[in-house]
A and B are shown apart, each in its own frame.
Chain A
Amino acid sequence: MMKQKADIVCDSVGSTLTVHIRGEIDHHTAADIRGRIDDMLFQRRPRRLVLNLSSVTFMDSSGLGLIMGRFSVMKELGGEMAVCDPSPETRSILTLAGMERLVRVEYSDGHIPPQPPVTQKGRSGGQAPRAPYNGAPGNPAPGNPATGNPAPGVRKPGRVGSGRKPTIRPLKKTEPPA
């Protein structure tokens, strides 16, 4: 067995599942991390997934794929997700990909990250400048937590609000964290 360079620790509080990723995220480690996060998601059915990237020492575009993939899974499960405390090593690539436009990036110390430059030399091509979410279609944003309203096109019909209650299984306290 080849030594894995990444490890995850899951922490479930209420309906929030926090996944702390440690080590390097590349194509090699992402497959394993993905499988383990998805197992937890389908087992615990959290309303909210938080990926803590504070201990990630390296991340490439496979990590972007991982985040985008978990975002779709959470969307399908009717929940939301956020990225928490990205380490300096991961920030540049998150910014490059405009990940803040897709998922919420949070800092536990209340730090507000500087706004990325509006235009990036224009050569990252096709990436529109950042615009605040205005409800326009094509501008992806998670649902509005204040009103509980889903953003347009974010959730599948019939999965809105309390309609999904029966599918949630209660948390089993006896389950040891993976």
Chain B
Amino acid sequence: MKQKAETGGEVVNRMQVKLPALSVNEGMARAMVAAFVSQADPNVTELADIKCAVSEAVTNCIVHGYRDSTGYIILTVSILSGRVIKIEVKDKGCGIPDVKQARQPLFTTDAAGERSGMGFTVMESFTDRLRVTSKVGKGTTVTMYRRLSDRGRF
């Protein structure tokens, strides 16, 4: 059966967590994703890349999405056949008016907070595919796909 290499096939396993948008949960989120993804037997680099991408996405929700409000982040991680990891990070925060601009390297709306403006660039570089959908006032969903090298079971 032919599969799309980037987006994988059917779901082998899935986890979903709902976390309040607290900065202490950034470490929590990436630790949980790392623990879940470990069953697909990623190599050290792949695991480090996934952790970093998750950290960026969750931090974005906290720093930008919920900058003037509080709420929850819904993190959904799926292992798809074809050894593809799909990560979806969703918030119901303020949304991004111009996604294209936000994805530019070094672009930040929070220079005072010493943000580097590299969040989306890091996510893009450390995953195979990044999709950002956002609606002002409704929230943002970031979806990332990362294919693991061939060595495990899935």
Interface residues of A (CB under 8 A from B): 2, 5, 24, 26-30, 34, 58-62, 64-66, 68-69, 89, 92-93, 96-97, 120, 123-127
Contact = CB atoms under 8 A, between A and B. Distances in A.
Contacts of B124: 123-124
Interface of B: 23-24, 26-27, 30, 45, 48-49, 51-52, 55-56, 59, 62-63, 104-106, 113-119, 121-122, 124-125
B122 A61 contact: yes
Nearest to B59: A27
Contacts of A127: 105
Contacts of B119: 61
A65 B51 CA distance: 18
B125 A62 contact: no
B27 A5 contact: yes
A121 to B, nearest CB: 8
A126 B24 contact: no
Interface of B is mostly: helix
Contacts of A96: 118, 121-122, 125
A2 B24 CA distance: 8
Nearest to A126: B105
Contacts of A61: 56, 59, 115-119, 121-122
Given A59-B52, A93-B52, 12 more contacts: A26-B27, A27-B23, A27-B59, A28-B26, A58-B30, A65-B114, A93-B122, A96-B118, A120-B125, A123-B124, A123-B125, A124-B125
Contacts of A62: 59, 115-116
A147 B90 CA distance: 53
Contacts of B115: 61-62, 65
A89 to B, nearest CB: 6
A65 B75 CA distance: 25
23 contacts: A2-B24, A5-B27, A26-B26, A26-B55, A26-B59, A27-B59, A27-B62, A58-B52, A59-B52, A60-B56, A60-B122, A62-B116, A69-B114, A89-B48, A92-B45, A92-B49, A93-B122, A96-B125, A97-B121, A120-B125, A123-B124, A124-B121, A127-B105
A4 to B, nearest CB: 10
B118 to A, nearest CB: 4
A28 B58 CA distance: 11
B104 A125 contact: yes
Contacts of A60: 52, 55-56, 59, 122
A74 to B, nearest CB: 14
Contacts of B48: 58, 89, 92
Contacts of B116: 61-62, 64-65, 68, 97
Contact of B105 (A29, A59, A125): A125
A23 to B, nearest CB: 10
